[in-house]
Chain A
């Protein structure tokens, strides 16, 4: 067995309460149970990769964390805040739209299809939320936005419209846009699966660099190399439950569950 499993890529072993604490999360769409009791803890600074076949509920779980979907059962805490509800003496009260919007500010999300605002320039995309949501001074935000664009390798593109960029460039702008809110947690939903193969690398590099800065990340991905190198922990989901989880060397290198084995074999055969 690997004795130093908790410490990977030089990141410290988790101490204290987890940043994301999900307990028995359940979600169904019109009677179709998609999440059947997911438990997951993610500590500050950790990178967790979510693997699993299509339809296993990975996207749904990610969307539940920042309340793009409301959960039917279980609880999700992010940084100690119960997401979506106020607990008043054991009775849950649904939070107002405004309060939920406030909870989302600290959670960045990167989508499979980028979802940049096409009518705004790259710089405006990055500046929009800090100015509109946090009411930060424009000058400060612009400076930060330019720094972030430089970090993702797009210092020369502030005036371009998203439609004028390649998919890889758009996804890097989307990462900068999320980071502009200074999130505590970043959620990635298959950030490279809509990209041409030759553009995947640049986005993964940006994400690696982000992980190296100590950002807490939950990444749904089919990129096994990324999961193996960057993740502290890999979680394999199937049919709405967590089937197997652990350090990447164990789950990817030596899977125990039959479903994990089948999935990984198919992944490596396919590409």
Chain B
């Protein structure tokens, strides 16, 4: 056949002489701008390294020394690490409780949870810690008992003042515990929002299936809804924890001075080398936060069992909560 015009436009299906298309070995798209960017970054990093190495005021040797001082290590463990763990436990526990209250049918519980979140979100942590540290001026004794107990007891001629238990605020006013209470109460307000978004992210059918099986509301929340909400709750909680590591530096407002930043700063100041003090604190914060990030990824894997990725919409909602923090 010599009908070249007909055969030229379309691939010829007929002949055994024409091979069918095989494997593709295409040239990749070139990214010239990538190389420009890399060159710029290399130069900038080199400049930074040279300034770190050649400027003696950084004094990394002294910074490493400060990192290993006993008061600094004590501040790290007893203040920063312990403070973070304890206030996050309080914050997460109270936050989940507030979230459940916020989603309950009971309007009183809903109102209380809303008011709590409103107040503690508006309260700067530094100010809150300072107030709690000075609370002893207002209430030297903290007592739990019947409201107006003293007056009631007097009018009835009783010798007791109807106090169930109490303690002196001044006994704890400058301890880490006040700091933990302050940071934990504040954290709970943020955790409440995170936990609420997590609970709402669980498909309604889950609760209904559990209800149809005869499970009580507590069982449904504990065994079906919360474990699934955790998948959504854990990542932002990791961020909260990392933020909390840094916020323990606010403990000086109480004042609690056994705390990483203050102790490192103190050492730098005493040696008239303030920068190595900052460097020492920075390095410790970097180390702690890196460890936390590893822990977070393990937790995410655990709570993600049986699931694919987190729905995009939920992720966006949580990012918004994070953003206005």
Contact = CB atoms under 8 A, between A and B. Distances in A.
B157 interface: no
B212 interface: yes
B206 A115 contact: yes
A252 interface: no
A210 interface: no
B38 interface: no
Nearest to A177: B213
Contact of B212 (A68, A121, A162): A68
Interface stretch (A35-43, A106-114, A214-222): A106-114
Interface stretch (A125-133, A145-153, A225-233): A125-133
Interface in A95-149: 97-98, 101-102, 104-105, 107-109, 111, 113, 115-121, 128-129, 132-133
A163 B205 contact: no
Contacts, number: 74
A161 interface: yes
B307 A163 contact: yes
B308 interface: yes
B223 interface: yes
Given A118-B306, A120-B306, A133 B205 contact: no
B214 interface: yes
A102 B219 CA distance: 13
A66 interface: yes
A251 interface: no
Nearest to A63: B208
B209 interface: yes
B106 to A, nearest CB: 12
B314 to A, nearest CB: 15
Interface in B214-245: 214-217, 219, 223-224, 227-228, 231
A128 B223 contact: yes
Interface in B286-325: 303, 305-308
Contact of B214 (A115, A118, A133): A133
A119 B307 contact: yes
Interface string B198-212: 000001011011111
B320 to A, nearest CB: 25
Nearest to B224: A117
A22 interface: no
Interface of chain B, helix or strand or loop or mixed?
A: helix
Contacts of A66: 212
A118 B306 CA distance: 6
Contacts of A109: 209, 212
B212 A132 contact: no
Contacts of A68: 208, 211-212
Contacts of A97: 216-217
Contacts of B209: 109, 111, 115-117, 174
Contact of A101 (B203, B216, B224, B303): B216
Contacts of A115: 203, 205-206, 208-209
Given A105-B214, A116-B209, A181-B214, 14 more contacts: A68-B208, A101-B216, A102-B214, A111-B205, A111-B209, A115-B203, A115-B205, A117-B209, A129-B215, A132-B215, A161-B306, A163-B307, A163-B308, A174-B209
B219 A111 contact: no
Given A111-B205, A119-B307, A98 B213 contact: no
Contact of A129 (B206, B214, B231, B308): B214
Interface in B84-142: none
B223 A111 contact: no
Nearest to B305: A119
Interface string B11-44: 0000000000000000000000000000000000
A97 B104 CA distance: 13
B305 A133 contact: no
A132 B219 contact: yes
Nearest to B213: A129
A101 B306 contact: no
B124 to A, nearest CB: 38
